[in-house]
Amino acid sequence: MTPKKIACFVEGQTELIFVEKLFQEIAGSKKISIETCKFQGGKANRIIQPHKSCTIKDAPFFVLLYDCGCDSHVVSDIGKQHESLTNKGYEKIIGLRDLYPKSLSEKGQVERGIKGWLKLVQPRGIPIYITLAVMEIEAWFLAEWHYFDKLDSRLTPDFILQELRLDLKNIDVEQRPHPSQDLKDIYRLVSRKYDKNEKASQEIINNLDYDFLYLELVNSVKQLQRFIDEIESFLV
């Protein structure tokens, strides 16, 4: 049996870990094989290095995840691999990048640039869908506020609201200008440090409530819904 294949391009390590876990959670009992790779080098001399592989015999779904290293490479890396992935029988490509350090006011300009690029590339191969996690992927972690008190029992929404005037249950996370800074501020409340290293990212991603994330948050976080819709439409 030939599996359905999808390729996903993300901008960095945190996104790679999160998207791999998200595919596994949404797949549930369905068998799914996942292979991850990392791009290295500048735009003119990109090299793809295998990272890890989780292959399941007779799995009907195969996911190839690329860590592009930074947001500026996501679109160009997709463009360079589009024809090859089309020829290899992939069903579609999805990309995930954020807006930071650009400002929210530049979101429309970035989206128009992506749409213009897609009009040029799209007719010649498999479909491409690119999602902006608005400012940063950490916005989605803020929205899934249940995980904070798994890290430290003191980090309840009420405590965070009291100390930082940050209402996690009601804020529009897609309007936060610097979500990773919000996480840093929350962690400092309990004398912890947040950064984007693999250990910190893995801790967050392992503690997220995925049922809440893809059954509830999709109703209020539009870009998350868009990204999850593309995963779900593939896993059928």
* Mean pLDDT estimate for the chain: 93
Residue 152 tokens read as 């430290």
For residue 8, the cross-strand partners are: 65, 94
Percent of the chain with pLDDT over 70: 100
The 10s digit of each residue's pLDDT in 136-187 is: 999 999 999 999 999 999 999 999 999 999 999 999 999 999 999 999 999 9
Between residues 100 and 189, the one the model is more confident about: 189
Residue 122 reports pLDDT greater than 90: no
Confidence of residue 51 (pLDDT cuts 50, 70, 90): confident
DSSP 2: P
Contacts of 116 (CB under 8 A, 6+ apart): none
What is the C-alpha to C-alpha distance for residues 223 and 130, in angstroms, rounded to an integer? Answer: 10
Between residues 229 and 52, the one the model is more confident about: 229
Percent of the chain with pLDDT over 90: 84
| Residue-level pLDDT at 205 | 95
The 10s digit of each residue's pLDDT in 27-39 is: 999 999 999 999 9
What is the C-alpha to C-alpha distance for residues 148 and 152, in angstroms, rounded to an integer? Answer: 6
Residue type, 54: C
Domains located in the chain, CATH noted: 4-136+210-234 (3.40.50), 138-207 (no CATH)
Do 91 and 56 contact (CB within 8 A), yes or no?
Answer: no
| Residue-level pLDDT at 96 | 96
| Residue-level pLDDT at 52 | 85
Residue 10 reports pLDDT greater than 90: yes
Residue 70 reports pLDDT greater than 90: no
Residue 129 reports pLDDT greater than 80: yes
Residue 220 reports pLDDT greater than 80: yes
Do 115 and 129 contact (CB within 8 A), yes or no?
Answer: no
